[in-house]
Amino acid sequence: MDITPIHRRVIGLDVHQSKISACALIEQPDGNIVVEHQEFGGFKRDRRALAEWVSGFTPEVVVMESTGIYWKSPYAALERVGILAWVVNARHARNVPGRKTDVSDAQWLATLARAGLVRASFIPPADIRHLRLIARQRQKLGGMLASEKNRLHKVLADAGIRLNVLVSDLHGKSARAMIRALLDGQPIHAILAHAGRLRASRTDLFEALQPEELSARHRFVLNEILAHIDYLEATMTRFEQELLHGLAPWEAQLCLLETVPGIDRMGAAMLLVEIGADMDSFGSAERLASWVGICPGNNESAGKRKSGRTRKGNAWVRRLLCEFAQAAARTRCALKDKFSALSIRKGHKRAIVALAHKMLRIVYAMLNHASPYQDRTVDYEALMVQRNAPRWLKMLQKHGYLATA
């Protein structure tokens, strides 16, 4: 059975680091198909020539695979001439092995797109894509910062300093000040003066801050780690300021996302640059969850349900959602009740993923309808009355509707 064509003018692009293979399938008025191949380099002049060549066909669809980061520059070149290409999942457009070449890959992509057998992935607008660079680098810096903090803990333990036993956060203000004073060689009473309101007794702190072997090498390494931690924290602050400044046009969406338990300002900003503010791009919460890779997979054969583990998707969004779920599970809301019910049957990790899936569907509904999160366990009317009743009573007494006491 022949594949019924849906689009008449289609171009497929097989993108590599230094080469782009293009194939145009153009249906003539008499029904004949004209196939034209062309190859371009990977430099700016080549991408400009590619955009001119593609626009000369006035295609209905231009399709390319999401091969690493190499698709981004050709996509931007086409976008500048008014062509929004389809970026498709490589596993959905895999060519038949045996006669596989770059030229045949481009023609295969065009053939699939012509028959409507591939679907474009979500590509946000250029301004959101550029903000993604800031958000993702900020996440990388966060990982580096966590690694350095862990290393500081290990070096302190190697020197026999057991401050982490007495403080909940080794990198809190008081603990950090005591560590710096210790490395500066200050006397013990000056070090303990930085303890502030710590619950631990001064006797225990004195014992914990007695190093067994705090050599000059330990001091050197600890000072360098602290300097790197300060640098990373300052860098992350600059990244956060630039990200929030760039998201000023989407202030309303940021405020909506902040109403969800477990999502703070920065978490809302980092989620927004990944999924965008226009939910029409996905069409449904199910498609959004499938794109992220947070929903259960389908694997059924011969009437038997096999492993339904989650598929690969947007790892950046999945990581954010799991962090949100961890935070929401510790709040007093309906999401915590959901997590408690799931963790009994599925365990902690599966329950976190399931709660992250639920939170993503909530986020979709909020952005789609421009409405804030409303928790079913909270009586919002009672809260409004509690907040405004004193003012209402004053106004009623002022205008004579209530007798003054």
Token output for 205: 């702190």
Residue 337 to residues 257, 332, 340, 364, 401, Cα–Cα distance (Å): 20, 8, 5, 21, 44
Question: HSE-up of 127 (CA within 13 Å, CB side)?
Answer: 10
Q: How many CA atoms lie within 13 A of 115 on its CB side?
A: 11
**Residues in the chain with pLDDT values less than 70:** 1-3, 95-100, 102, 299-303, 307-308, 379-380, 405
User: What is the secondary structure of 310-348 as a DSSP string?
Assistant: PPP--HHHHHHHHHHHHHHTTSSSHHHHHHHHHHHHH-H
For the chain, domain boundaries: 9-121, 127-248, 250-299+306-369
C-alpha closest to that of 103 among 215, 167, 24: 24
Q: How do 61-65 and 86-88 pair as beta strands?
A: parallel
Instruction: Summarize pLDDT for 12-31 with one digit per residue, the tens.
Output: 999 988 899 999 999 888 88
B/e letters for 44-75, b = 16+ CB within 10 Å, e = fewer, are eebbebbbeebeebebebbbbbbeeebbebbb
Q: What is the residue whose two structure tokens read 């509707």?
A: 401
CATH class held by domain 9-121:
alpha beta
Task: Tally Cβ neighbours within 10 Å of residue 248.
Answer: 8
Structure tokens at 144: 């580096």
What is residue 1's predicted lDDT score, i.e. its pLDDT?
Answer: 39
Length of the chain counted residue by residue: 405
Q: What is the spatial distance between Cα 368 and Cα 282, in angstroms, rounded to a whole number?
A: 10
DSSP 213: -
Q: Which CATH architecture has domain 127-248?
A: Orthogonal Bundle (1.10)
Query: How far, in Å, CA of 137 to CA of 85, rounded?
Result: 26
Phi, psi of 199, deg, nearest 5? -70, -30
pTM of the model: 0.82
Chain mean position to CA 389: 41
